[in-house]
Amino acid sequence: MGIKRAEIQQIGERVNGRLLKRYHQLEVLDRILNTINTVPDLDTVLNFTIDNIMSVVDCTCGAIMVGDKDSGVIYHRVYRGISAKNMDAIRIPLGEGLTGMVAKTGESILIKDVSKDPRALPLELGKIECFRGFVCAPIKRLDDSMGAIVVASDQADVFDSDDLSIVKSIGHCLATAIIKTVVEKKIVKGMARYQALLRYALGAQEDERKRVARELHDETSQALASLTFRLQAAIQMAESKGFGDARFIESLTRAHSCAVQAGNEIVKMMMDLRPTLLDDLGMPAAIYRYAKDALEANGINVSMEFVGGEHRPPAEVEVECFRVAQGLISNILRHSEARNVSIKIECNVSKTVLYIED
């Protein structure tokens, strides 16, 4: 009877020990999941993960190896308990060695004594011949494998199916973190390309506006000014010397008025294309001058406030703010019955904010 009690007690202790180990594994998995969901930095996540793996699996060393199909290799991204030199320079081809095979096939392995396995490469874990017990699971999401988690011991036959299970579960979790990082990098790269293209397009647009404005000033505006002076001189000559009748004088006068109006329209067009104040005095003065010229001529009062005069925005920001102000002022003229318009510009080292209220 005493023997049976002892056996039952031993079985109970083994069951309790296994339950406690499983509970600890689930607790570690929960911590890792929480870190993946809350910490944006992948290296921080990987270091936290390898430390927790080492705490829950009775191993001598551990490593998280990452790579991709494009490079064709995996490498030790973070590792613990490995003293070999040049670990960061070691590259394992996908499909070669134990870790390379796991990373390529997406299939986990548990080996009692890795020193006797002919598939192992000497460079795996720095010196694979120094280890015996070996567990390796893929970092995998669906059919996409991104690396492997590996733990090893200097003792043979120390790992069981529970150890393999927790390492596999952590590998699936890490795949989500790596995918998220890859996607975020692609988004950042895409945004950078978009912003570069946008800056190029805006720069090209502004260069073209400058060119057209310069041609209008140097050629069209000068020609119209010359025509205006000649018509004015012709009117004065006709009136002083009695050339032509009243209808002839009236035609010259109307032609002169048309030339003056065309000249004013050209000046306004040049201002719309590229106001010189934007280059000379900056964006706030250019916006205020444009608003006064456009709005006060239509009976709308304009007030202006500028905060942060010590911070002049980059040229492309000034141009964009001016173009936005042009559009808003145009909408006020077309669609609003406002009597007052207030403009406020706030600038600091990180941002520029434009307010226009009618």
- Residue 128's pLDDT is 86
Phi/psi of residue 227, nearest 5 degrees: -60, -40
Cα–Cα dist 214/273, whole Å: 10
CA atoms within 13 A on the CB side of 96: 11
In this predicted model, what pLDDT tens digit does every residue of 235-281 receive, in sequence order?
Answer: 888 877 777 677 888 888 888 888 888 888 887 787 777 777 777 77
Q: In terms of C-beta density within 10 A (0-12 exposed, 13-18 middle, 19 or more buried), how is residue 30 classed?
A: exposed
- Residue 1's pLDDT is 44
- Residue 156's pLDDT is 92
Phi/psi of residue 195, nearest 5 degrees: -65, -40
Question: What phi-psi label fits residue 110: left (phi over 0), alpha (psi between -120 and 50 degrees) or beta?
Answer: beta
Q: Which of 314, 312, 281, 277 is nearest to 199 (CA)?
A: 314
Residue 2 pLDDT > 50: no
Strands 340-347, 301-307: pairing is parallel
- Residue 15's pLDDT is 52
* List of residues 6+ apart from 91 with CB closer than 8 A: 73, 74, 75
- pLDDT, the chain, mean: 83
Token digits of residue 245: 């009748």
In this predicted model, what pLDDT tens digit does every residue of 36-55 receive, in sequence order?
Answer: 888 888 889 999 999 999 88
pTM over 0.85: no
Q: Which helix (H) or strand (E) holds 64?
A: strand 61-68
* CB distance 139 to 145 below 8 Å: yes
pLDDT band at 167 (very low <50, low <70, confident <90, very high): very high
- Residue 7's pLDDT is 60
pLDDT band at 11 (very low <50, low <70, confident <90, very high): low
**Which residues is 73 bridged to in the sheet?**
68, 93
- Residue 6's pLDDT is 59
- Most confidently predicted of 25-29, 196-200, 285-289: 285-289
DSSP code per residue over 171-235: HHHHHHHHHHHHHHHHHHHHHHHHHHHHHHHHHHHHHHHHHHHHHIIIIIHHHHHHHHHHHHHHH
More confident residue, 140 or 6: 140
Local structure of residue 117 (DSSP, 8 states)? -
- Residue 323's pLDDT is 83
In this predicted model, what pLDDT tens digit does every residue of 112-166 receive, in sequence order?
Answer: 999 999 999 988 888 888 899 999 999 988 777 889 999 999 999 999 888 999 9
Range in 88-97, 186-195, 219-228, 308-317 the model is least confident about: 308-317
Cα–Cα dist 92/71, whole Å: 11
Residue 169 pLDDT > 70: yes
Percent of the chain residues past pLDDT 90, beyond the cut = 20
Please measure the distance between the N-terminal and C-terminal CA atoms of the chain and give it in whole angstroms.
96
